[in-house]
């Protein structure tokens, strides 16, 4: 079901459809994301700020809210897992607004975990590091289909010397969603081969934003 996660009515509708189709909802994975607004903080527009926050943070609020309502009504508990980022546990690993949104995901998730645990609803966070996807391939190589080169570039930034794969993140999700994690609540599971521990890379997003602004100026946009 195609959903704009920045629209609460649409998130509520997809949860309702899941409940109607399956008879209930046991797991909610809030995973939609974009890179969002980039560049120096003095150049970021209010529109860019709001769109980035809406897609990456407000959407998580909507997902928690409506999944929790359904889970509480069923009385059988459940697992809510939200995707943050290593940029949500340490500044300097992503653009400014992205970093703010991902910190918000962590804080919101842990706050919700303290409220919802009494209903058997666990709320946890996955914080991926450099993971090879179309988005990160475009960011690192300029081509969203060049996954091989992206794997090599991303892998150079962490101690295991390989880029993370979607399966690595999915396996972390499977643990947090499973009964084996029944005592794990309010946790932030960092999945990044210890890449979060290496240096400040925020400068690249500032430089990227400056380049975008310069190109727009040259094009008269």
Residue whose token pair is 């399956």: 22
The distance of Cα 54 from the centroid of its chain, to the nearest Å, equals: 12
Residue of 62, 98, 119, 175 marked catalytic: 98
Whether 175 is catalytic: no
Report which of 41, 51, 114, 123 is spatially closest to residue 81, judged by C-alpha positions: 123
61, HSE (Cβ side, Cα atoms, 13 Å): 15
For 184-213, the DSSP string reads --S-EEEESTTGGGS---THHHHHHHHHHH
State how far the Cα of 133 lies from the Cα of 81, in Å rounded to an integer: 20
Catalytic residues: 98
């Amino acid at each position: 079901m195609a959903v704009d996660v920045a629209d609460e009515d649409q998130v509520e509708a997809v949860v309702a459809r899941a409940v109607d189709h399956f008879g209930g909802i046991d797991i909610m994975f809030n995973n939609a994301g974009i890179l969002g607004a980039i560049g120096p903080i003095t150049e970021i527009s209010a529109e860019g700020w709001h769109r980035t926050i809406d897609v990456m943070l407000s959407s998580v609020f909507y997902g928690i809210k409506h999944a929790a309502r359904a889970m509480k009504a069923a009385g059988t508990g459940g697992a809510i897992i939200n995707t943050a980022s290593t940029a949500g546990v340490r500044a300097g690993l992503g653009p400014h607004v992205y970093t703010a949104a991902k910190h918000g995901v962590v804080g919101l998730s842990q706050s919700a975990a303290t409220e919802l645990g009494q209903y058997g609803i666990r709320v946890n966070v996955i914080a991926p590091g450099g993971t090879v996807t179309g988005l990160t391939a475009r960011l690192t190589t300029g081509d969203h289909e060049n996954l091989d080169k992206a794997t090599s570039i991303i892998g150079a930034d962490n101690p295991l010397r390989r880029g993370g794969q979607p399966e690595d993140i999915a396996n972390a999700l499977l643990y947090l969603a499973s009964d084996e994690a029944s005592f794990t609540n309010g946790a932030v599971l960092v999945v990044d081969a210890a890449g979060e521990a290496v240096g400040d890379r925020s400068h690249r997003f500032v430089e990227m934003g400056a380049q975008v602004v310069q190109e727009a100026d040259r094009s008269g946009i």
